[in-house]
Amino acid sequence: MLRFALVAASLALATPSFAAPNQQLVNSVQHRLNSLGFQAVDAGSLSGHQIAALHLALQGRIGFGPNRIRKQQEVKNILNWNGQERTHSINKSN
């Protein structure tokens, strides 16, 4: 039992709770941001949650027209995250 506790404790201490995003993923997100007109944004300075959300939001073909405008608005919303979003309820009514 003691051996199990020591192994569990050593694994918990050795594993980072938040790993840095993969550089290839950051480069991919940066390329997509550039194609949407967000050249001033440095994807390397974004949080892991923002990189993941942008990666999912920017999947597929963007094109032109209403879809492009929606994607730009979605990207703006993600870029405005400040880390406090996890504390808010999704079902919060205003």
- Let me know if residue 38 belongs to a domain: yes
Residues 10, 49: contact at Cβ < 8 Å?
no
Residue 27 maps to a domain: yes
Number of structural domains the chain divides into: 1
Q: Judge whether 9 lies within some domain.
A: no
16, part of any domain: no
Residues of the chain scoring pLDDT < 70: 1-19, 82-94
Report the pLDDT value the prediction gives residue 88, as an integer from 0 to 100.
Answer: 45
Give the C-alpha separation, 50 to 21, whole Å: 10
Residue 54: predicted pLDDT: 93
Q: Report the length, in residues, of the chain.
A: 94
| Residue 11 counted as domain residue | no
Largest CA distance in the chain: 62
pLDDT of residue 94: 47
Radius of gyration of the chain from its Cα atoms, rounded to whole angstroms: 18
- Long-range contact pairs involving 42-47 (C-beta distance under 8 Å, separation at least 24): 46/79, 47/81, 47/83
Output the pLDDT for position 16.
53
**Predicted TM-score (pTM) of this structure:** 0.65
How much is the pLDDT for 12? 59
Domain range spanning residue 64?
Answer: 21-81
Q: Which pLDDT value is given to residue 61?
A: 82
